[in-house]
Structure 1
């Protein structure tokens, strides 16, 4: 056990996170969502979260927002906690904040967003604006989006973490070509989370970044678990293979998500959706049996 792991266990004991952090309601079919612990604290998070890119960038109309309200309500009732946004995502922060407040879900959710600008003062203004839009103070997780001015913003966030303005800090990227730079940041900077792209069609993170994050005690959020939807479209009309039943999957979306969360370094995957049926399907991937190494190879070979 290294010093970081020991400190994480002490923090978990001090904050009451020796067991599961929050009681996780039954998922689809009455099954319980799997959770993974944040290495720096011991707090547990369900393995399926909710992204907001494109899907939550809507106006103020009831017709536009009602489906998203249904998605958020079901996400929480099925045991979901982590919802991820960014000032880069248009109106997504404001829409998510309004709906979370309307549904009374703030205390049940783990709210993550990002800073995406140049300069210390601009970063402070943007992060304060995100808190206002999301109606979340503190923010559970603030991440430096795509490593933009990363050292400047991480310095601010380390100062904000001391009085509890943010609970966790992290960095993000969504392209494999940036993984080496992300790894350098993990080497040099004390962060709690890294958010990266990873899917059955984008497996570059397996080579170094996922094992390195695990070694460094950094929680991993996975964006693009469906490779931007390309994989789902390719598999849509194909029948499920017989081995899908071995990991309790009834759809390709569940198989693809279980490939992602089946990696031991992954803490949470964040598929985005505005459709209730898709949300329920995604959440089911967080329950039941997960693939072992043999089955992960079969999933990868399905492409």
Structure 2
């Protein structure tokens, strides 16, 4: 497995895959304690060093299980954990959200469950629509100075808020944000409109969740298998997602590999072309699932396969991007094309 620094504002090295631990628990739908242990060991044996968890995964049990598995080697690994929500039956205003109070309380509880005195990257899981950015950034800075977190990031925040936070932290002299977390896959490319260009511009690392679109890109729903999207009337959702899955299955047949490997190989190629680090979270429920994900690390698709997948999964960028592209294509200064030759500075 290869490694890269998480964004351009840190020297924190993360593995090519981040292991998602949402299934680390004893619930019937989870991996089970023995399964989680085997998944962890296989991931580490393959060179994996980076783990993603949250205070709400398996009602906190995922952090407990991960902490036990990290054990005395905890410093060898990178742990990303998140806060904001709760699984409590009765939700009280003081126990959720992004405020300094909730942040510190949640972190203390996460540290206790993880059996450690620090986490490497700490993020609010979702924006609460209430907490001001200066409060978030000041609290992050305090926790970094206290040694309880090493770095801070934002998960599921809109691009305009992340950009504002990045600039504010830079201008204030505080420790910079180093990354974000967002959904991204062949079936869900909305992040290309704002989030990914923003992350590249500000040097933020990107952790990508649901790289298989909740199991859609594995083709399992067409086989009648159950999964996260089974409750929907139509797991594929719309014609575009159906076309994407058709393309994935076609490329898998042409290359003699599986749809999982195709979807992850496409994502690895996109990440390689990005101007900042892009790291997918793989969240296996069984050791067999993890083995399939690891197989994808050796799959290289041909250019025409990438073109086929790109075409099937393409999204409309909308305004102003399409307007700007059209203007550049046809010249934006009368009959002259401004981008058809070398740049000559005006003096």
1:223–1:270 contact (8 Å) kept in structure 2: yes
For the structure 1 residues 122 and 182, does the alpha-carbon distance in structure 2 shift closer, same or farther, using more than 3 Å as the test? same
Instruction: Confirm whether residue 259 of structure 1 aligns to residue 266 of structure 2.
Output: yes
Q: Secondary structure at the match of 2:54?
A: coil
Counterparts of 1:232-271 in structure 2 under 5 Å? 232-233=218-219, 241=251, 245=255, 250-263=257-270, 264=274, 265-271=276-282
1:194–1:219 contact (8 Å) kept in structure 2: yes
Counterparts of 1:50-199 in structure 2 under 5 Å? 50-53=19-22, 55-58=23-26, 64-89=32-57, 90=59, 91-101=61-71, 104-116=72-84, 117-118=96-97, 119-148=99-128, 149=131, 151=133, 152-173=135-156, 178-189=158-169, 190-199=176-185
| Per-residue deviation, residues 142-174 of structure 1 (Å, max 9, x unmatched) | 111112336334321111112432111101018
Q: Cα offset for 1:130? A: 0.4
Question: What is the aligned partner in structure 1 of residue 343 from structure 2?
Answer: none
Structure with the greater alpha carbon radius of gyration? 2
In 2: Cα distance, 1:170 partner to 1:99 partner: 24
- Unaligned segments of structure 1, at least 5 residues: 1-32
Question: What is the aligned partner in structure 1 of residue 204 from structure 2?
Answer: 218
Q: Cα offset for 1:41? A: 2.1
For the structure 1 residues 171 and 159, does the alpha-carbon distance in structure 2 shift closer, same or farther, using more than 3 Å as the test? same
2:14–2:50 contact (8 Å) kept in structure 1: yes
TM-score (norm 2): 0.66
Q: Cα offset for 1:244? A: 6.7
Structure 2 counterpart of 1:49, from 18, 34, 45 = 18
Structure with more contact order per residue of length (Cα contacts < 8 Å, sep ≥ 6): 1
Q: Secondary structure at the match of 1:273?
A: coil
- Unaligned segments of structure 2, at least 5 residues: 85-95, 170-175, 224-245, 314-347
In 1: Cα distance, 2:301 partner to 2:277 partner: 13
For the structure 1 residues 182 and 40, does the alpha-carbon distance in structure 2 shift closer, same or farther, using more than 3 Å as the test? closer
For the structure 1 residues 266 and 240, does the alpha-carbon distance in structure 2 shift closer, same or farther, using more than 3 Å as the test? farther
Q: Cα offset for 1:213? A: 0.5
2:185–2:267 contact (8 Å) kept in structure 1: yes
| Per-residue deviation, residues 98-124 of structure 1 (Å, max 9, x unmatched) | 2322xx542332111012133322321
Question: What is the aligned partner in structure 1 of residue 320 from structure 2?
Answer: none
Query: How many residues are matched?
Result: 259
